[in-house]
Each structure stands twice: as C-alpha cells, then as structure tokens.
Structure 1
C-alpha cells in the first residue's frame, strides 16, 4: 500500500516551499498526496454566515494550491481537504491517517499566530505520524545527507530507524551524532580528572555503537558516519547539519497537555530550523 502524505497549504511562500518538497518526495516514493487547508476559526464569529464564508474561502485557497501542484508537473494521486477549525487540532486529527505530515515554516519564526510558524512546533508535538518542517530559506548549498541524534532513548531509536531508512532510500550518508557534556558543578570542576573524562568518552562510544547497531546488515549500501561531540545536543546536531540537508529528531510522545512539549532537543532544532527537519514519534 502506498504511503500517504498530508501537506499543509495556505498560499504563502513558506507553504509553497513545503509543497514543492512534498511533491518531489511523493513522486520519488510513489506516495499519494492530500493537501490540507485550515481556515483558522479562532477569531471568527460563530454565525452561520461567517463560517460559510470562511469555508468558501478555504475551498478557494485549496483549489488554487491543487492547481499549483498540477502545474508543477506532479502526476501522482492528489486530493484536498478544506476545513474551518483550529489548525493544530485539525492537522492532528488528519495525521491519524497519514504516514507523513509536511509543513512550511519561517526559520526561527516567533509569530505565535502563524500556522506555519511556532504552530509547526506544536503540531510536531501532537501529530500521530512523523512531521517534516521545511524552511523557506536555507543558507548555502547543503550536501545530501541525513543527521540524527543518538542518546539511547526510545525516541532516539525510532529517529535512528527512520533516518537510516530515509538515507538508504535516497542513497545519501547517515550522520549519527552523540553529544555529551561532563556534568559540571560550579566549584567542583577540579573533581573531573582526565580519567573520568575518558570514561565518559568511552561510554559515549559504546552508546553510539549500540544505537547504530544492525544498520550495516539492514542497509548494506548505507554509509554511516558516527560523530561523538563534546557539546550540548542541539549545538552538536546543528553543527553536523552543516554537512547535510535533512535532520531527524525524536519526540518523546507525551500524553495530555504535555504533548505540546516536544523536548528540549527537538524543540531547539525546530526553532533554529537550518535544514528540513523531520520529527518522529516515540
């Protein structure tokens, strides 16, 4: 059965960038595509007339984006849904029936009201499938490659599995990054001898070896580069992303209202968003 991608559209430059990325990927993988436009009802009157006009505007926007997709040359199966509602809730519900949700975003956007600004972070936290957030502006011309963080957690293992499959499918290197920092306590730095630091490095080497174990057997042609970096995790991943075009990070998959908290690493990477970032589910 073919995969299904849901691509959020709103006619903006950021949305179009994500749409083009999603259509290219769908053409390569044979996935079906559903375009989703949500008219935010947060500031709308609840009267039938206002909601009817909002629905009509949403359908008009959706048709324009479907036409853009057809004109781009995409020949795969494509459908569309236009709704009036809360963007986060609507995309979360749609993600239950998708293999990947694709959103555009301003790099480092601080606009709380922007569907594809900080809401992309919240959607990535609550979605039921992986979410790809595509920046509209990328510095330089990144080399093809997939960066993934390794820390031994369940979320990390899921991210590694997704990243390895992604890199293998595209035929690009996988860069596995393990970041560590000695637990510095103010005034007690002298307790950290060279032997203790070396033991931390050894533990890091063991962790990254365990985290990437089995990849060579599963993907014989996959090139895996393992990096151990003494730096905060977000900084280490962003540095590695200078040599790649895609980042994969894991979400802890919390329940209730806490689902809006991705975790410091995934949230930090999405806030910087130097490259297309895919958030996987734990």
Structure 2
C-alpha cells in the first residue's frame, strides 16, 4: 500500500518550499499527496456569511496550489482539502490519515520564542504520524541523514525512520549521541578521569544498542557514529548543518506530553539547520 503525505499549503514561499520537497519525495516513493489549506477562524465572525466566504477563499487557495503542484511536474495522485478551522486542530485531524505531515518553516506566532514556540512545534507535539518541517532550500554540503540517539524508546523510533530514509536515498546515516558531565557549579574539579571515562562508556553502549541490527537489515548502509561532549540541541544542530535531513524522536501523546514536545526536538525545530523530521513515540 502506497504512502500518503499531507502537505500544508498557503501560497507562501515557505509552504511552497515544503510542497516542492514533499512532491519530490512522493515521486521517489510513488506516494499519494493531499494538499491541506486551513482558513484560520480564530478571528472570524461566526456568521454564516463570513464562514462561507472563508471556505470559498480556502478552496480558491487550494485550487491554486494544486495547479502549482502540477506545474512542478508532479503526475501522481494529488487531491486537496480546504477547511475553515483552527490550523493546529485541523492538521492534527489530517495526520490521522497520513504517513507523513509536511510543513513549511512558518513562525506562526509573534511569540515564536516562547513556551509553545513555532506552529510547527505545536503540530509535531499533537500529530498522529511523523512531521517534517522544511526550511528554505539551501545547498546540501553533507550528504547524510542525521539522527539523535539517547537510549529512549522515542530515539529508537527516530533511528528506524532515519535508517530507512538513509538506505532509500543511498546516503550514510550519522548517529549522534551528546552527553555532558554532571554539572555542579563551583565543583567542576570533582570531575575525575574515571567519571568522564564512565560517561563516555555509557554513551558508546547507548549508541551501539541504538544502531544494533541496522547492518543486517540494511547491509549497504554506512553508519557513522558521533559521540559529542556538548548539550544535545547544540550537538545535533551542528551535526545537521548542511545535511539532507535530521530525525529526532518525540515523546508520546499522553497527558502533558501532548503539549510538551521535548526540549531537544523543540530546540532542533527552532533552529531548523536542514529539513527536520519528528517521529512519534
């Protein structure tokens, strides 16, 4: 059964960058595409006339973006959905029928640096499938797929996605594990060589467990291991600059984790060093 991608469109430069990325991926994988445009009703009157006009405008925008998709040479299945509603809620609903949601790198809020961060962060925290956030296209300097490893179930999902992606693209997989010695301000002198050595050994064990089995499943896949003494977000962003893609795992959707994406995935999405995919736990 072929995959289905939901791509958010609004006619902006950012969404068209995501549209082009998603269509290219769909062509490579023979996937179907659903373009989604949401007319935000947050500030609309609830009168039937206003809502009707908003729906008509949404449908007109969708028609334009479908025509644009065809102008890019995409000949696969391309349907569209135009709705009036709350963008986050509508994308979450659409994610139930998708294998991947693809969004442009919109700030989506004048509070982009606040607790909730970008609109993409909110979508990634609530979606039912992996979410790809695509920045403006830049030259690819390092042809690799980067994945963050921390030994958690969430990172195992990310590794599985990243390995399949790297294998399909014929690229090496760069597995990054970032660690820091225990921070006790004023007592740094207590960091012994034994402590640092044990921390590094634990990191090596975690990354070995994380990539275990990949060589058997993907015998042609080159796996590069990077163990970095650095804060996780900084290490991942640095490793992913100029890369084809970075994949990070998210928490599950239960309880407060539905609203808290996680500091690492949140931080990587805020930096967007390259296309970022957030997988589901």
- What is the TM-score when the length of structure 2 is the normalising length? 0.95
Cα pair 1:246 1:276 within 8 Å, conserved: yes
The answer on 1:60 being equivalent to 2:72 is no
Aligned twin of 2:272: 273
Tell me: CA distance 1:137–1:109, structure 2 relative to 1, closer, same or farther (3 Å). farther
Q: Any residues of structure 2 matched to 1:245-264 within 5 Å, and which?
A: 245-256=244-255, 258-264=257-263
Any idea what SS the aligned residue of 1:175 has?
Answer: strand
Aligned twin of 1:212: 211
Cα pair 1:112 1:119 within 8 Å, conserved: no
Cα pair 2:108 2:119 within 8 Å, conserved: no
Residue correspondences, number: 277
Q: Work out the CA distance in 1 between the residues paired with 2:108 and 2:51.
A: 29
Any idea what SS the aligned residue of 1:144 has?
Answer: strand
Q: Work out the CA distance in 2 between the residues paired with 1:239 and 1:73.
A: 34
Q: Work out the CA distance in 1 between the residues paired with 2:25 and 2:140.
A: 19
Any idea what SS the aligned residue of 2:142 has?
Answer: coil
Any idea what SS the aligned residue of 2:46 has?
Answer: coil
Q: Any residues of structure 2 matched to 1:29-44 within 5 Å, and which?
A: 29-44=29-44
Q: Deviations over 1:46-73 (max 9, x none)?
A: 0000000000000000000000001111
Residue 261 of structure 1, CA deviation: 1.2
Q: Work out the CA distance in 1 between the residues paired with 2:78 and 2:221.
A: 31
Residue 253 of structure 1, CA deviation: 1.6
Any idea what SS the aligned residue of 2:143 has?
Answer: coil
Any idea what SS the aligned residue of 2:57 has?
Answer: helix
- What is the TM-score when the length of structure 1 is the normalising length? 0.95
Cα pair 2:109 2:119 within 8 Å, conserved: no
Residue 141 of structure 1, CA deviation: 3.4
Residue 276 of structure 1, CA deviation: 0.2
Q: Work out the CA distance in 2 between the residues paired with 1:41 and 1:258.
A: 26
Q: Deviations over 1:168-227 (max 9, x none)?
A: 011111000000000121222222111111111111111110111000000000010000
Gaps of 5+ in 2: none
Q: Work out the CA distance in 2 between the residues paired with 1:218 and 1:59.
A: 44
Cα pair 1:111 1:118 within 8 Å, conserved: no
RMSD over aligned CA atoms reads 1.5
Q: Work out the CA distance in 1 between the residues paired with 2:260 and 2:180.
A: 23
Aligned twin of 1:189: 188
Residue 263 of structure 1, CA deviation: 0.3
Tell me: CA distance 1:256–1:40, structure 2 relative to 1, closer, same or farther (3 Å). farther
Gaps of 5+ in 1: none
Q: Work out the CA distance in 1 between the residues paired with 2:211 and 2:155.
A: 10
Q: Any residues of structure 2 matched to 1:1-282 within 5 Å, and which?
A: 1-106=1-106, 111-112=110-111, 118-136=118-136, 138=138, 140-242=139-241, 244-256=243-255, 258-282=257-281
Any idea what SS the aligned residue of 2:16 has?
Answer: helix
